[in-house]
């Protein structure tokens, strides 16, 4: 039976290297990618903490030591963290099965590369009210053919799953949004040390057994930052206040977020929304038009132009260079008088943003 009193635990599925995000993730796990100059996972942990979820398990596979060394036991972030490291990828459900020893009460599962403002407390109340074994968050999309569609009856109980229906043939626009609440009893149906998926394995199995699986529709913000373009969109949306993060404060009266020891030449023009990290240097005659994020220790030399871009830490932009709709990886040097548009640039590679 569903637990009624125990506090909600959470499992974050961190996933693999994210091939579509390369070259940004060659030596950096997706959860450590900076979003408004903070690792993405910090935003996720703060989101859970705000919902009174303090016990969090991270399932790791790719460069786990980078995440573990940054977050430790979680005390510095006001939570308790445990880690389950997979030698080989186990899939969404297999990864949760690997964390079973921590899961003795109702728990939440979410993808480590999704940013959402879903109301966890309300979803939990719905789950408990229905006495469900599993509750699946549902998001309405205009084109469901690229997603897993979830059909429900009038009461919200899930009838069936349809994976990526052909265009025009979907019976609903509600898709699986990747956030779940589960009871620990369902873990017995997941094989041990096997690659196993919620979407194609456990959930259809539970439906076949007549278990209570419910959908939870919500219309809030939801973005999977699995591509460079989506990653840039997330930074843009946060700066434009289309969604919010608990760890981002307020800009100054001009709409600019300034870190400590930032130097801006009096002739520079900075048009909000813009975030400049600690130690940033903005030279003479520089033009910055937001949404723009400039990472800690970065230097923008004289007469450069930056528009709609995210620069990571210690980026050096040469004089008279123009950067538009780009992501610039950390420790990258952009030579003077360059024009760079719609690109992902690192110290070793340049690829199209649309990749």
- Please report how many Cα atoms fall inside a 13 Å half-sphere around the Cα of residue 69, on the Cβ side: 7
pLDDT tens, residue by residue, 162-186: 888 888 888 899 999 999 999 999 9
Q: What is the mean pLDDT of the chain?
A: 94
Residue 4 lies in a domain: no
Query: Count of domains in the chain?
Result: 2
Is residue 22 very low, low, confident or very high in pLDDT (cuts 50, 70, 90)? confident
List the single range of 11-20, 56-65, 91-100, 298-307 with lowest mean pLDDT: 11-20
Residue 242 lies in a domain: no
Q: Give every CB contact of residue 327 below 8 A, 6+ residues apart in sequence.
A: 24, 228, 231, 232, 309, 310, 312, 343, 344, 345, 353
* Domain assignment of residue 264, given as a range: 250-352
Verify that 183 and 301 share a domain, yes or no: no
Residue 233 lies in a domain: no
pLDDT tens, residue by residue, 200-217: 999 999 999 999 999 999
Is residue 265 very low, low, confident or very high in pLDDT (cuts 50, 70, 90)? very high
Is residue 3 very low, low, confident or very high in pLDDT (cuts 50, 70, 90)? very low
Verify that 37 and 179 share a domain, yes or no: yes
Verify that 275 and 327 share a domain, yes or no: yes
Q: At which of 228, 258, 279 does a domain end?
A: 228
pLDDT at 18 over 80: no
Whole-model pTM: value is 0.94
Higher pLDDT, 249 or 186: 186
Q: In angstroms, rounded to a whole number, what is the distance separating the alpha carbons of residues 328 and 313?
A: 9
Cβ count within 10 A of residue 110: 24
Residue recorded with tokens 């903490």: 49
pLDDT tens, residue by residue, 129-148: 999 999 999 999 888 888 88
Verify that 178 and 268 share a domain, yes or no: no
Verify that 207 and 303 share a domain, yes or no: no
Verify that 33 and 108 share a domain, yes or no: yes
Domain with residue 129: its CATH number is: 3.90.550.10
pLDDT at 290 over 50: yes
Residue 156 lies in a domain: yes
pLDDT tens, residue by residue, 267-284: 999 999 999 999 999 999
Verify that 212 and 258 share a domain, yes or no: no
For a pLDDT cut of 70, what percent of the chain falls above it?
98
Residue 179 lies in a domain: yes
Residue 269 lies in a domain: yes
Domain with residue 330: its CATH number is: 2.160.10.10
Residue 240 lies in a domain: no
Model pLDDT, residue 2: 44
Q: At which of 228, 260, 277 does a domain end?
A: 228
Verify that 28 and 116 share a domain, yes or no: yes
Model pLDDT, residue 355: 53
Verify that 95 and 133 share a domain, yes or no: yes
List the single range of 83-92, 160-169, 317-326 with lowest mean pLDDT: 160-169
Q: Which of 79, 92, 4 is nearest to 47 (CA)?
A: 79
Is residue 5 very low, low, confident or very high in pLDDT (cuts 50, 70, 90)? low
Verify that 165 and 70 share a domain, yes or no: yes
Q: Which of 3, 86, 74 is nearest to 44 (CA)?
A: 74
Q: In angstroms, rounded to a whole number, what is the distance separating the alpha carbons of residues 185 and 123?
A: 19
Verify that 196 and 260 share a domain, yes or no: no
Verify that 287 and 204 share a domain, yes or no: no
Residue 326 lies in a domain: yes
């Amino acid at each position: 039976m569903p637990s009624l009193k125990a506090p909600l635990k959470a499992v974050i599925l961190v996933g693999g290297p994210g091939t579509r995000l390369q070259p940004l993730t060659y030596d950096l796990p997706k959860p450590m990618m900076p979003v408004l100059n903070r690792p993405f996972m910090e935003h996720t942990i703060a989101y859970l903490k705000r919902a009174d979820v303090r016990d969090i398990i991270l399932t790791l596979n790719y460069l786990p030591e980078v995440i573990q060394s940054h977050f430790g036991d979680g005390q510095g972030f006001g939570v308790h963290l445990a880690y389950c490291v997979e030698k080989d990828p186990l899939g969404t459900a297999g990864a949760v099965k690997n964390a079973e020893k921590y899961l003795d009460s109702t728990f939440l599962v979410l993808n480590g590369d999704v940013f959402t403002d879903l109301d966890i407390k309300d979803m939990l109340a719905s789950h408990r009210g229905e006495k469900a074994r599993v509750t699946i968050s549902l998001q309405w999309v205009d084109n469901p053919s690229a997603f897993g569609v979830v059909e429900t009856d009038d009461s919200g109980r899930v009838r069936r799953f349809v994976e990526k229906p052909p265009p025009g043939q979907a019976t609903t626009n509600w898709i699986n949004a990747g956030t779940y609440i589960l009871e620990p009893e369902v873990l017995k149906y997941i094989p041990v040390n096997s690659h196993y998926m919620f979407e194609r394995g456990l959930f259809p199995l539970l439906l076949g057994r007549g278990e209570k699986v419910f959908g939870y529709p919500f219309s809030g913000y939801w973005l999977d930052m699995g591509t460079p373009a989506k990653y840039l969109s997330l930074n843009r949306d946060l700066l434009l206040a289309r969604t919010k993060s608990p760890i981002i404060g307020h800009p100054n009266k001009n709409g600019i977020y300034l870190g400590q020891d930032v130097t801006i030449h009096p002739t520079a023009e900075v048009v909000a929304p813009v975030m400049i990290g600690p130690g940033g240097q903005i030279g003479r005659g520089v033009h910055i038009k937001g949404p723009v994020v400039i990472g800690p220790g970065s230097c923008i030399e004289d007469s450069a132009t930056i528009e709609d871009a995210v620069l990571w830490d210690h980026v050096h932009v040469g004089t008279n260079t123009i950067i538009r709709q780009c992501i610039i990886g950390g420790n990258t040097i952009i030579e003077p008088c360059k024009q760079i548009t719609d690109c992902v640039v690192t110290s070793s590679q340049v690829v199209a943003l649309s990749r």
